[in-house]
Amino acid sequence: MNINILISEKVNQAMLAVGAPAHCKAQVRQSVNTKFGDYQVNGLMAAAKQLGVPSNQLAKKVISMLNLDGIARSVDIAGPGFINIVLDSQWLATQIAIALASPRLGILPYSPQTIVVDYSSPNVAKEMHVGHLRSTIIGDASARILEFLGHNVIRANHIGDWGTHFGMLIAYLEKVEYGGESEIKLSSLDNFYRKAKNNFDRDPDFAQKARNYVVKLQSGDSYCLQMWRKLVNITIVQNQKIYDRLNITLSQDNVMGESMYNNMLPGIVADLKAKGLAVEKAGATLVFLNECKNKEGKPMGVIIQKTDGAYLYTTTDIACAKYRYETLKADRIIYYIDSRQHQHLLQVWTIVRKAGYIPETVLLEHHMFGMILGQNRKPFKTREGVTIKLNDLLDEALKRARSLILSKHINVDDINIVELERLAQVISIGAVKYAELSKNRTSNYIFNWDEMLSFDGNTAPYIQYAYTRIRSIFKRSALNEQLFTGHISLEDEQEHLLAVRLLQYQETIAIVARDGTPHVLCAYLYNLAVLFSSFYENYPILNANSDKQRQSRLQLALLTSRTLQQGLNLLGIDTVERM
Ligand code: ARG
């Protein structure tokens, strides 16, 4: 049930019926303060202004035409022309029962779109580091949510597997292999990259060989391709281990690296030239964009082929966008890339639109994000100033989660080592992911171990713990959850509020699916957990006054636990049955 849409439709109808212009919308919002009801209508002042009538008068007319029979308990005008709506408890109870009866908690699937989600996308022959955390975690939550809503989601891991540096990497791989070191692991690949670079900078013969290999690789030489493949495969296998560890839904099948578009590039450059969009200048090929201005205020020249014939990151992304529309049949393409690449994407999109590769109806969205900072507000690094590897970060999280479990917060008397390890894993991964997901992605944020592993506040452990508390009610009741079928009655204020909050799950997910803002779902789950725990403190559940009341409250508790579990799941975070 999407209550917001339901009320919006009804109010919009009433507004039209009293002559409000069609473009004036109801602007229905969840009330932040209960004294304004459960929902409020904010759009009447603007409509009244358009009509040139007093807003209070318009509000009265709208209410007279507004039919919320059986849905709302009261509909009142407040202030200059707001409408406050309190939902009907009986109606809420029915909706709760419907949600409880469905494994999807009452959330109906959307009409499916094909949505390409470009995320994670690390570079080959480099170990994944903390800079890839945001794209990987936020992109994955977004993919899960869109999929849950019924869309055909295509996960695209646009790995950086092409470029001139492969000449040097191949030359060095050859050197290593001759030296008898047959297998290189990615854990040493960072080292590998550094050593390759070192050789390239210091040894002219090596550098010459590397340059030759670049040319050979680009012209499809089989030896170079084979060496290149080896480097790519090692990276993919190593990255997959991190994805699995982090409970990220990417698989090796989702790898669609830059190299995949190589054979499209000459055709694209030729086509852009033929369309008069690209021009040659001093041997290079550029597209001049009036839409993007350079520092002198002149149309920006975007290079798509260099004088030496090499193509660029932009050229690849043009081909890639075209492929996603033409071949993958995308209705919507979302990029989870940091904000520094926004300009790059705008250039790519302007070009693909102008060239007619992608129609305006297909959405291109950059769900950008800021940086992760250390306590010193500089990019998050080790004390020695080294970029933090993801594996090391997760090891540290695991260590901290273990000691958290062993500290006073959790009862470990009867916990065995297997359970302890499982718990530490769920808590550590949950904490790291939730810390990412709960922040508004557009801003930078400061990485803070203590905060993310706290049982207080908007954290994963808080919500995971709230979940186990509800589970323990059921365990103690020894009742079969399937049999909670009695009538739900929402007599008290807190029961009413909890029910409304539970039923706002769908509209919350709808926002996240539209905007790619998992922090909205985090805030919702946190708020739901807080609301439930205050309810639980004030209203006995197992010791309720009557069997009827107990049954009713147990059902509210059950839907709360399911919502928390499913909500966390959509964020890629697991729950446990006890802590
Ligand atoms: N490999 C790039 C990087 O590490 C990110 C690629 C993002 N996706 C894209 N289609 N450009 O910065």
Boundaries of every domain in the chain: 3-87, 164-254, 390-570
81-116, pLDDT tens digit by residue? 999 999 999 999 999 999 999 999 999 999 999 999
Pocket of ligand 1 contains residue 157 by CB under 6 Å: no
Give the Cα separation of 395 and 428 in Å (integer): 9
Question: For residue 457, which of 471, 475, 438, 481 has the smallest C-alpha distance?
Answer: 438
Q: What is the mean pLDDT of the chain?
A: 92
The mean pLDDT value for 141-157 works out to 98
**According to the model, what pLDDT value does residue 9 have?**
97
- For residues 547 and 410, the answer to whether their CB atoms sit within 8 Å is no
Give the Cα separation of 312 and 278 in Å (integer): 14
Work out the angle between the directed axes of helices 204-218 and 165-178 (0-180°, nearest 10).
110
CATH of 390-570, one of 1.10.730.10, 3.40.50.720, 3.30.70.3450, 3.40.50.1360: 1.10.730.10
CA of 122 to the centre of ligand 1 (A): 7
CA of 206 to the centre of ligand 1 (A): 29
For residue 320, the ligand 1 atom closest to its alpha carbon is 10
Pocket of ligand 1 contains residue 495 by CB under 6 Å: no
- For residues 213 and 222, the answer to whether their CB atoms sit within 8 Å is no
Give the Cα separation of 84 and 18 in Å (integer): 19
301-323, pLDDT tens digit by residue? 999 999 988 899 999 999 999 99
Pocket of ligand 1 contains residue 337 by CB under 6 Å: yes
Pocket test for ligand 1, best of 129, 337, 390 (most atoms within 8 A of CB): 337
For residue 337, the ligand 1 atom closest to its alpha carbon is 7
Q: Whose CA is nearest to atom 3 of ligand 1?
A: 122
Pocket of ligand 1 contains residue 305 by CB under 6 Å: no
Cα 364 to the chain's mean position, in Å?
A: 16
**According to the model, what pLDDT value does residue 180 have?**
60
CA of 119 to the centre of ligand 1 (A): 8
Pull the structure tokens for residue 55: 């807003």
Pocket of ligand 1 contains residue 121 by CB under 6 Å: yes
Q: How confident is the model at residue 411 (pLDDT cuts 50, 70, 90)?
A: low
Pocket of ligand 1 contains residue 161 by CB under 6 Å: no
- The Cα-based distances of 417 to 211, 373, 399, 406, 560 in angstroms read 54, 35, 14, 11, 30
**According to the model, what pLDDT value does residue 418 have?**
87
- For residues 571 and 522, the answer to whether their CB atoms sit within 8 Å is yes
CA of 344 to the centre of ligand 1 (A): 10
CA of 160 to the centre of ligand 1 (A): 7
417-463, pLDDT tens digit by residue? 888 899 999 999 999 999 999 999 998 989 899 999 988 999 999 99
CATH 1.10.10.10, applies to 3-87: no
Pocket test for ligand 1, best of 118, 121, 134 (most atoms within 8 A of CB): 121
**According to the model, what pLDDT value does residue 335 have?**
98
Give the Cα separation of 52 and 149 in Å (integer): 42
CA of 274 to the centre of ligand 1 (A): 28
Contacts of 164 by beta carbon, 8 Å cutoff, 6+ apart: 214, 310
8-17, pLDDT tens digit by residue? 999 999 999 9
Environment class of residue 482 by beta-carbon count within 10 Å: exposed (0-12), middle (13-18) or buried (19+)? exposed
Pocket of ligand 1 contains residue 4 by CB under 6 Å: no
Whole-model pTM? 0.94
Question: For residue 44, which of 31, 63, 58, 32 has the smallest C-alpha distance?
Answer: 58
Give the Cα separation of 275 and 325 in Å (integer): 20
Q: Whose CA is nearest to atom 6 of ligand 1?
A: 121
Give the Cα separation of 579 and 577 in Å (integer): 7
**According to the model, what pLDDT value does residue 482 have?**
66
For residue 132, the ligand 1 atom closest to its alpha carbon is 4
End-to-end CA distance of the chain: 32
CA of 259 to the centre of ligand 1 (A): 12
Pocket of ligand 1 contains residue 123 by CB under 6 Å: yes
Q: How confident is the model at residue 183 (pLDDT cuts 50, 70, 90)?
A: low
Check for a shared fold between 3-87 and 390-570: no
Residue 223, Cβ neighbours under 10 Å: how many? 12
Q: At residue 530, does pLDDT exceed 50?
A: yes
Q: Whose CA is nearest to atom 11 of ligand 1?
A: 317
- For residues 363 and 415, the answer to whether their CB atoms sit within 8 Å is no
Pocket test for ligand 1, best of 129, 256, 341, 367 (most atoms within 8 A of CB): 341
**According to the model, what pLDDT value does residue 186 have?**
47
**Residue 482 vs residue 148, higher pLDDT:** 148
Q: At residue 410, does pLDDT exceed 60?
A: no
